[in-house]
Amino acid sequence: MTRSDRALGALEGLAFGDALGMPTQSMSRQHIREDYGTIRGFRAAGPRQKIAAGMPAGAITDDTEQAVLLARLLIEGSGQVDVTVFAERLLDWEAAMAARGSLDLLGPSTKSALQRLSGGVPAGEAGRYGTTNGAAMRITPLGLARSTRSIPKFVDAVEATSVATHNTSLGIASAAAVGAAVSAGVAGADRAEAVEVAIAAAEEGARRGHWAAGGEIGPRLRWAIPYLRGTPASQRADAVAEVIGTSVASQESVVAAFAIAATAEEPWDALCFAAELGGDTDTVTAMAGAILGATHGTAVWPDSERAVLLTTNDLDLASLASELLALRD
């Protein structure tokens, strides 16, 4: 695998996971089983899917769209992101989604932070309550654009992209973990090495922003991965959904994504497994896909599903990957 292949694999993994989790997001495991049965590939939104109602099989959601938005801002700014411009682009994106009749809009932390920012609250204060997974779900492009040779400097960059919406110890730590795992994978790390880099970045991120109560990302990663690895395969879905958790809380969904990625035998099967868990499935599956793609490259993603993904969505991930890697150099 080349560095370019790992970078593209990360962006593809993000989009694959997002599209797999699209029809099941915010649903219970029981309703997912009743409406879809066993998931082995892309599915159209079913009758009980309210957020993504009517979306076709292979359609992406806010996870990929906001990541692409961040990628373009990084490219435009030669690796830097202007907080005000970022906020404006996010609000424009939501307006466009609403005009299309979509309910897949900004998450709770991002929405409230941008409202405060628009009301004149300084950027450093606007995101002081953002503890959910919005910063982590969109951070993958930064993992392509920045090296983790210096963890503090890498987390500086994560903090700069998170401060407007998720300026908390949990929000920054979770984004730092996902971004660092992707960056390490792009640099050639295997999964175990990428997880260790991610934990170090999460521990650094936990010292940033406004302190927020909740289980810290680094220690929860050190617990959850061995816990899931030691759980019989037949009980792993229960372990992730009921013990680790799959809600929008970063200390659940981000940790779940890492545990699934770190214990995966086959990356595609792992994403299908994640899409069946209920809760914030599109985000959990997208983050797991980004980590697996960065550490395994593009070959683990099926060509048949790639054709559906590219036909259904207006995506040029190869060009984005190339331009983001140019920033890294």
Residues 41-71 have pLDDT tens digits of: 999 999 999 888 899 999 999 999 999 999 9
* Residue type at position 154: F
Find tokens 């930064």 and name the residue.
142
Q: How far apart are CA 248 and CA 254, in angstroms?
A: 9
Distance CA 272, CA 285 (A): 8
pLDDT at 310 over 80: yes
Confidence of residue 92 (pLDDT cuts 50, 70, 90): confident
Consult the annotation and say whether 190 binds a ligand.
Answer: no
CA 261, CA 186: separation in Å to the nearest integer? 15
Residue 124: count of CB within 10 angstroms of its CB = 13
pLDDT, tens digit, 9 for 90 and up, residues 245-256: 999 999 999 999
238 is in an annotated binding site: no
Checking phi first, is residue 214 left (phi over 0); if not, alpha (psi -120 to 50) or beta?
Answer: left
CA 260: distance to chain centroid? Answer: 13
The vertex-283 CA angle with 278 and 285, nearest 5°, equals 75
- Identify which of 83, 158, 93, 66 has the alpha carbon closest to the alpha carbon of residue 117: 83
pLDDT at position 104: 66
Query: Range with the lowest mean pLDDT among 60-74, 87-101, 166-180?
Result: 87-101
CA distance 213 to 85: 30
Sign of CA dihedral 324, 172, 16, 313: negative
Domain interval for residue 312: 3-328
From residue 327, alpha-carbon distances to 161, 176, 220, 289 in Å are: 16, 18, 32, 23
106 against 43, higher pLDDT: 43
Is the predicted pLDDT of residue 329 greater than 80, yes or no? no
User: What's the rounded mean pLDDT across residues 125-150?
Assistant: 95
pLDDT value for 156: 97
- 311-to-37, 92, 316 alpha-carbon distances in Å: 25, 25, 11
Q: Is 35 annotated as a binding residue?
A: no
- What are 91's two structure tokens? 């609000």
Q: b/e string for 134-157 if b means 16 or more Cβ within 10 A?
A: bbbbbbbbbbbbbebeebeebbeb
How many CB atoms within 10 Å of residue 78?
9
Residue 151: what pLDDT? 98
- Whether the per-residue pLDDT at 119 is higher than 90: the answer is no
312 labeled part of a ligand binding site? no
Choice between 124 and 228, residue whose per-residue pLDDT is larger: 228
Is 303 labelled as part of a ligand binding site? no
Q: Is 64 marked as binding a ligand?
A: no
Is the pLDDT at 240 greater than 80, yes or no? yes
**The pLDDT value given to residue 88:** 83
Cβ partners under 8 Å of residue 92, min gap 6: none
Average pLDDT over residues 106-128: 80
Instruction: Work out the mean pLDDT of the chain and round it to a whole number.
Output: 94
Is the confidence at residue 89, as pLDDT, over 80?
A: yes
Domain count, the chain: 1
With 80 as the cut, is the pLDDT of residue 114 above it?
no
Per-residue pLDDT tens for 172-231?
999 999 999 999 999 999 999 999 999 999 999 999 999 999 999 999 999 999 999 999
Burial category of 288 from C-beta neighbours within 10 Å (exposed 0-12, middle 13-18, buried 19 and up) = buried
For CA atoms 104, 109, 115, 120, the dihedral sign is: negative
Question: What is the per-residue pLDDT for 213?
Answer: 95
272-301 per-position pLDDT tens digit: 999 999 999 999 999 999 999 999 999 999
Is the pLDDT score of 105 beyond 70?
A: no
Residue 132's DSSP bridge partners are: 249
Burial label, 101 (beta-carbon count in 10 A; 0-12, 13-18, 19+): exposed
In the prediction, which pLDDT does 127 show? 86
- CATH number for the domain spanning 183: value is 1.10.4080.10
pLDDT band at 91 (very low <50, low <70, confident <90, very high): confident
